Structure 1
Amino acid sequence: MKKIAYFLVTIAVLALPPSSFGKAATLNHGILAAEPKYSETSKKIIDYIRLGHYQHLEIDDEFSTKMLDHYMENLDRSRSYFTQADANEFAVYRDRLDDDLKNGDLTAAYRIFNRYLQRTRERLEFMLSTLDQGTDAFDFDKTESLRIDRDKEPWAADKTELENLWHKQLKNAVLSMRLSEKQDQEISEKLMSRYQTQMKRLEQFKTSDVFQIYMNAFTGLYDPHTRYFNPRTSENFAINMKLSLEGIGAVLQSEEEFTKVLRLVPAGPADTQGQLKPTDRIVGVGQGANGDIVDVVGWRLDDVVALIRGPKGSIVQLEIMTAEAKTHGSSTIISITRDTVHLEEQAAKMDVLEVKGKGLATSRIGIIDIPTFYSDYHAQQAGDPSYKSTTRDVRRLISELKQKHIDGLVIDLRNNSGGSLSEAVTMTGLFIKTGPTVQIRTARGETRVLEDRDPSQAYSGPLIVLVNRLSASASEIFAGAIQDYQRGIVVGNQTFGKGTVQSLQPVNPGQLKLTQSKFYRISGGSTQNRGVIPDIAFPSLLDNSDIGESALPNALPWDTISTVYYRKYGDIKPWIDELHQRHQNRASQSADFEYLVETRKLRDTLKSKELISLNESVRREEKSHSASDQLKLENKRRAAAGKELLKTHSDLKDEPTNQYGNRIDLEDPLLQETTQILVDYINLALPTVAHN
């Protein structure tokens, strides 16, 4: 189970494990102890969750066992700190944590965490003492390996086994830097600095950090979005909601000792720059165009975010390791100019693409790209007649597209992570006359149906909704409603699956973000976990096991409730097989689609590796082979497009990795294929499709 926390680095925090550093409340030379106030806070949190969470769980001995495992796994997912003896010692709590939680007894929380701190110090001392011997301490010609993902491994039998693991982990760190062409002296200095910094940070934990980690091990058993925020985290969360600081516009998550990119904010600096992408790991941060890179491996997420934040217009350097680099460890440095994401930059945009059908006349297809579901609430409340919202802007864009005599319309919701629920409802109303749009079910089992009551229909012609894995929440409500009404075809990838609703509850000290409701489509199925399944699927470079609700630990399951009455606008299903076959015929001849499919296969092959070699010649050969494969794929795509071929793999570093990220990029092959599908649908079904 992955230890995960999220940050929105446009500015601030979404949720995180420990809070800020400060003077630790300690006993006996660094032993952290609970403060009395947290006993009452823990009982309040438990009461809130037992009474208000969408999912009811019995807090009993079985829950206690899961809680102990979850807490220890959250602290030590890589099984690099605790021993089997530690696990045996803490087994006394397997049937006690449920009672301790109800009574506000936090003894186990601090006892286990203090052991974790002890083992972490021992590991860092081992790393530093080994580095004192220089890189000669490692035999890079020896045939040995290190397991990449250790979350399913047993606890180390004893200290000797732990030290053997630590030695391999340090050897891998040295070898990864060698593969990035760093010299041994620089490697030793950098790693010494990394571990010395981590050692200093251990002394900065305070009792509120431990309480937050422990309570989130509890809340995390309910679902990944229910979180306790201590006062510092609550402050960061409020900053995020106000969009008051500048950053790069990325949602980050903490995974083991790395900071990983979950998604990019549409129209944000990172999205615009085009080189950072989901699943990348940030291992270093530098200030300015030429500033020194600060190693951030092992840092807490809020401190990494603090480095990435900065004044608008300033440059931040990020040292990143791509998902493909996981097996060879090499990194690259990119530069992003910090900025604030403004509402107008996230506003819907439109364009027209002329598409030639199979032996038929050219069709004019309108494209409306919607980065987020937005509404200027304050301007609306102030009575501003020109306030901006997704629905108002899309209605205006549809009117402009009609004047351009379009034959069909594509709504592009790729990378749209959601936003205003009311805008998803009213925008659905632009494409239907009246009717239900989404159901919301509460923890009490009460179901509320949100409806479009406006009988006007801004657009009644042929329609496709384009989605991908990063389309979430409000995007899924809109896409699901269009699909249920058979109002349009959904094309792209399975969406994120964020189908829950949270609220903030004050608890002294801090706040509790509590999952209280779930979204359901009007056909009865939830958008939670499963998301929206497209009628016609495209290849994707993102792995659903890495990104999406189903990738999060203890995500609430997909389920169904009763359907509500609604009138379908036709029957698209009979045309799907023929449309899919025509799409497959084109895709099989497309260099761009072949590039996506083959690149995904290459990534899956690398990801499937369970062991990483610690032999330098083997690793260099693997890195060279991987680089050669990537270069061949890229040049094959370039050759088909008549572009200049790249000479070396290093030339790829100067190319934006988000190949089709410009809005609206009419050369985007996925968008072009979407319009071809729509033209096919128009030509196939037009005689039987009713148009107003």
Structure 2
Amino acid sequence: MKLNRIVTVSLLALALALPLGFMAHAEGEPIPGAPTAEQTTTSRLVYGLLSDSRYAYRPRPLDATMSSEIFDHYLESLDGAKLFFTAQDIARFRAHEPGMGDSVRSGDLEPAYTIFAMYKQRVADRVAYARALLEQDIFDFSGNDRWEYDREEAPWAADAAALDALWKQSVRNDWLRLKLAGKKPDEIRKTLDRRYLNMGNSVAALDQEDAFQSFLNAYTSTVDPHTDYMNPRTAKLFTQSMSLSLEGIGAQLQKQDDVVVIREVIAGGPAAMSGKFKAGDRIVGVGQGASGAMEDVVGWRLDDVVEKIKGPKDTQVRLDVIPGEATLDSKPVRIVLTRARIKLEEQAAKSEIISLPAPASGGADKRIGVIKLPAFYQDFEGRRSRHGDYTSATRDVARLLQQFRADGVDGVVLDLRNNGGGSLNEAIELTGLFIDKGPVVQVRESGGRVSVEGDRTPGVSWDGPLAVLINRGSASASEIFAGAIQDYGRGLVIGETSFGKGTVQNIVPLDRWPANEGDKYGHVKLTIAQFFLPGGSSTQNRGVVPDIAFPVTVDAGEFGESTYDNALEWRQIAAVPHQRYGDFAQLLPKLEALHAERVAGDKEFQWWSADVAEFRAEREKKYVSLNEAERRAERDRDEAKRKRRQEQRKALGLALDPLAESSTDDGLQAGERNVAEDAAREKAAEKRPDPLLRESAAILADAVRLLNNDRQLSAQVLPESTVPGRWAQ
């Protein structure tokens, strides 16, 4: 079975990659065998919802086949890399496999909790083994050993001895990385011992609610890849991410060892306005209001600490803070803040203008406006309240387009790379900024009824040249927008084939059925429909294919809708009438030729293409060598390449890479680095040269020049009767 684990993410991976989410009380809590009354009710509600064709697009019977899939998905969510359970464990678990469907239907979750408890025990066993290895003489790297890290398709280890062999190589790889980074043995031993201890504490801290959500998502993911269960806390975080706002102090937090650390102070928030916080400061105590008891939060889960710090605007919170440069046993400083509503501006649409000199063959300089849109966000509650002031991706983009018109740019590139989607309504309204009324998406419900959603507002916000930049990470709403622009012939689509998610999800609060006043049962994000473009094609599985293609960074077999074992198939329905603004077929060969000629002399594009090829070759290996001389030679080649490129940038007058001096592997994980320095590197990464964006702007500028200079070609590409604006002047 091959699952692209986006919904059922390995809990271990979360513990390792995002210790901020699952770090908790050091001893953790045992997983009791009996579910709570709320969990039993929730399980039954989720089953009722997903088995009802009035709600679910593709309901499935909870039969033996589905029970087996739930079992497999649950094990994958816990131990996707097959580093904890043995084949012997799996054989024992098989007794629970036939009853997994009944567990969901009845709310009897004891089998799932039994497996989860064993998972926690097996992680503790592995952590103890890894820490013990640090004291052994196993760190000779002169042989030909290797660490085969990709175990997705590997069989379960036969027994504990087989797992020992795997973990020995993993620990040796961790040690070698730190050694290559210049760390001494005592420092390496200390770093890795702390790393493994933190990993063990992270998993030990997972509680019954974590087990419950993981198991229910093993069920929901068997229905389809994009149906999720969200407990009340997760649902609140989802709403926050979509609205780009929260009520709190305005600080991004992360967990480092046992302490919550400030990673970034958000401009304009109470923390920033106080002038008393900086990246790296540690929060060790939280108190509510002017006189509420101070609670020592060292060792708490990050999400528990965040819940204490956040709260309604205009209320007070007291924080005990130890500055980042002080020792942890220093006396904390007490700071009182008044909470406020924080806008997460960093995640909103942003713009820039790229200036392109005229080519040697002649023509005018061009200025291309770029809008980077990371998500199709919308404040759902704010929109429902009808007070008019709500966060909206479309509103933000419209404002940026207005500024571009004032600046007189020659074209606009909308950058949707790695935009995983969001609000369907925003995708429709955003398309309406570029077309003068018409259908944007066809929505097919489970019963076969097709409705058409589109732009009903006359006029456009931008009537000039347009390009849309996509990659494999562009999904869902991004594909609706890019596909509609392509169907209308309104703009060029550039980049890689997109993700291929062609389904529509809706958020259903489970508390509506028991008529509960609070939020006890959480929400389900379930697939309710499949969408089709105005031309009748689905993006499902196939994605949006660009007009001008860049080298593929990741194969469809590695990432995207096609990697899900239960994804809906591609299909097509009848087209709906829609205006065709242009047909770029005659223009594309000329643009391809100009693109190929330009990138042949574009050092940065060549470097990027070479790095992609190298990355793909490394991924194909699925292992790393444990020979020190070989690894050191690889590292030296990488460092020499970075230095050489930086010197070439200077010689050619190109923008320097702000990360060129810090790109060497330091052997550390995110939570082990200096927080302030790591945050600064993250900010610097945003300023790295982006040859793909610049080339996309150049392609659009080529299109404008070609259509301006060749009236016959312009008439073929943009018939005068349907020209939407200033493509050709």
Fold equivalence (TM over 0.5): yes
CA distance in 1, matches of 2:229, 2:692: 45
Partner of 1:333: none
CA distance in 1, matches of 2:140, 2:538: 54
Aligned letter for 2:79? D
SS at match of 1:136: coil
Aligned letter for 1:622? E
Q: CA deviation at 1:602?
A: 1.8
Report if the CA contact (8 A) 1:348-1:390 is conserved. Answer: no
Q: CA deviation at 1:594?
A: 0.7
Which is further off, 662-671 or 603-612?
662-671
Report if the CA contact (8 A) 1:539-1:596 is conserved. Answer: no
Report if the CA contact (8 A) 2:8-2:221 is conserved. Answer: no
The answer to whether the aligner puts 1:90 opposite 2:93 as a matched pair is yes
Which is further off, 497-506 or 356-365?
356-365
SS at match of 1:32: coil
Report if the CA contact (8 A) 1:491-1:537 is conserved. Answer: yes
SS at match of 1:439: strand
CA distance in 1, matches of 2:170, 2:28: 32
Partner of 1:63: 66
Partner of 1:166: 167
CA distance in 2, matches of 1:301, 1:618: 42
CA distance in 1, matches of 2:545, 2:35: 48
Partner of 2:528: 516
SS at match of 2:170: helix
Partner of 1:436: 439
Partner of 2:507: 503
Per-residue CA deviations over 1:662-681 (Å, capped at 9, x if unaligned) read: 59999963344233332344
Partner of 2:184: 183
Q: CA deviation at 1:109?
A: 1.1
Which is further off, 421-430 or 73-82?
421-430
Partner of 2:35: 35
Aligned letter for 1:369? I
Partner of 2:121: 118
Report if the CA contact (8 A) 2:587-2:703 is conserved. Answer: no
**Distance of aligned partners of 1:380 and 1:304 in 2 relative to their CA distance in 1, 3 Å threshold:** closer
In structure 1, the gaps of 5 or more residues are 253-264, 270-285, 293-299, 318-338
Aligned letter for 1:453? R
**Distance of aligned partners of 1:474 and 1:203 in 2 relative to their CA distance in 1, 3 Å threshold:** closer
State the identity %.
Answer: 31
Partner of 2:704: 679
CA distance in 2, matches of 1:231, 1:375: 20
Length-normalised TM-score, structure 1: 0.76
- 1:345-384 matches, cutoff 5 A: 346-347=348-349, 349=351, 351=353, 353=355, 355-356=357-358, 359-362=361-364, 364-371=366-373, 372-373=375-376
Q: How many residues align?
A: 623
CA distance in 2, matches of 1:636, 1:595: 11
Per-residue CA deviations over 1:266-324 (Å, capped at 9, x if unaligned) read: xx99xxxxxxxxxxxxxxxx9845989xxxxxxx997499799999xx9999xxxxxxx
Match 1:575 to one of 578, 587, 606? 587
Match 1:103 to one of 106, 117, 139? 106
Report if the CA contact (8 A) 2:440-2:484 is conserved. Answer: yes
Per-residue CA deviations over 1:504-538 (Å, capped at 9, x if unaligned) read: 33255333222223332111222344432210022
CA distance in 1, matches of 2:201, 2:657: 49
> What is the Cα-based RMSD across aligned positions, in Å?
4.7
Q: CA deviation at 1:496?
A: 3.9
CA distance in 1, matches of 2:573, 2:171: 52
CA distance in 2, matches of 1:23, 1:289: 22
Partner of 1:603: 615
SS at match of 2:587: helix
Report if the CA contact (8 A) 2:147-2:626 is conserved. Answer: yes
**Distance of aligned partners of 1:156 and 1:304 in 2 relative to their CA distance in 1, 3 Å threshold:** farther
Aligned letter for 1:34? A
SS at match of 2:137: helix
**Distance of aligned partners of 1:240 and 1:451 in 2 relative to their CA distance in 1, 3 Å threshold:** closer
**Distance of aligned partners of 1:613 and 1:495 in 2 relative to their CA distance in 1, 3 Å threshold:** same
SS at match of 1:466: strand
**Distance of aligned partners of 1:309 and 1:437 in 2 relative to their CA distance in 1, 3 Å threshold:** farther
Report if the CA contact (8 A) 1:497-1:532 is conserved. Answer: yes
Aligned letter for 1:605? A
CA distance in 1, matches of 2:608, 2:444: 38
Per-residue CA deviations over 1:546-570 (Å, capped at 9, x if unaligned) read: 6655566755444333321223123
Q: CA deviation at 1:638?
A: 5.0
SS at match of 2:144: coil
Q: CA deviation at 1:646?
A: 11
Match 2:496 to one of 493, 496, 512? 493
Partner of 1:80: 83
**Distance of aligned partners of 1:39 and 1:668 in 2 relative to their CA distance in 1, 3 Å threshold:** closer
Report if the CA contact (8 A) 1:353-1:666 is conserved. Answer: no
Report if the CA contact (8 A) 1:437-1:450 is conserved. Answer: yes
Partner of 1:145: 146
- 1:250-649 matches, cutoff 5 A: 288-289=279-280, 303=302, 341-342=343-344, 346-347=348-349, 349=351, 351=353, 353=355, 355-356=357-358, 359-362=361-364, 364-371=366-373, 372-373=375-376, 391=394, 408-499=411-502, 500-506=504-510, 508-539=520-551, 548-550=560-562, 554-633=566-645, 635-636=647-648, 638-641=650-653
Q: CA deviation at 1:450?
A: 1.1
Q: CA deviation at 1:630?
A: 4.4
In structure 2, the gaps of 5 or more residues are 256-263, 268-276, 284-298, 311-320, 325-340, 512-519, 666-676
CA distance in 2, matches of 1:429, 1:241: 21
Report if the CA contact (8 A) 2:444-2:531 is conserved. Answer: yes
Aligned letter for 1:48? L
Report if the CA contact (8 A) 1:78-1:151 is conserved. Answer: yes
SS at match of 2:157: coil
Report if the CA contact (8 A) 2:416-2:469 is conserved. Answer: yes
Report if the CA contact (8 A) 2:438-2:578 is conserved. Answer: yes
Aligned letter for 2:443? I
Per-residue CA deviations over 1:117-145 (Å, capped at 9, x if unaligned) read: 232222222223333xx252443334322
SS at match of 1:228: strand
Report if the CA contact (8 A) 2:352-2:370 is conserved. Answer: yes
Aligned letter for 1:148? Y
Q: CA deviation at 1:616?
A: 2.7
**Distance of aligned partners of 1:629 and 1:551 in 2 relative to their CA distance in 1, 3 Å threshold:** farther
CA distance in 2, matches of 1:94, 1:6: 18
Report if the CA contact (8 A) 1:20-1:232 is conserved. Answer: no
Per-residue CA deviations over 1:52-90 (Å, capped at 9, x if unaligned) read: 222233322222222222222221122222222222222
Report if the CA contact (8 A) 1:639-1:645 is conserved. Answer: no
CA distance in 2, matches of 1:316, 1:470: 38
CA distance in 1, matches of 2:171, 2:583: 60
**Distance of aligned partners of 1:434 and 1:315 in 2 relative to their CA distance in 1, 3 Å threshold:** farther
Q: CA deviation at 1:583?
A: 1.2
Report if the CA contact (8 A) 1:638-1:645 is conserved. Answer: no
Length-normalised TM-score, structure 2: 0.72
CA distance in 1, matches of 2:394, 2:562: 30
Partner of 1:260: none
Per-residue CA deviations over 1:564-615 (Å, capped at 9, x if unaligned) read: 1223123221221222122112111211211111111121222222222223
Q: CA deviation at 1:107?
A: 3.3
Aligned letter for 2:506? Q
SS at match of 2:469: strand
SS at match of 1:441: strand
Which is further off, 393-402 or 415-424?
393-402
SS at match of 1:96: helix
CA distance in 1, matches of 2:133, 2:694: 51
Partner of 2:224: 223
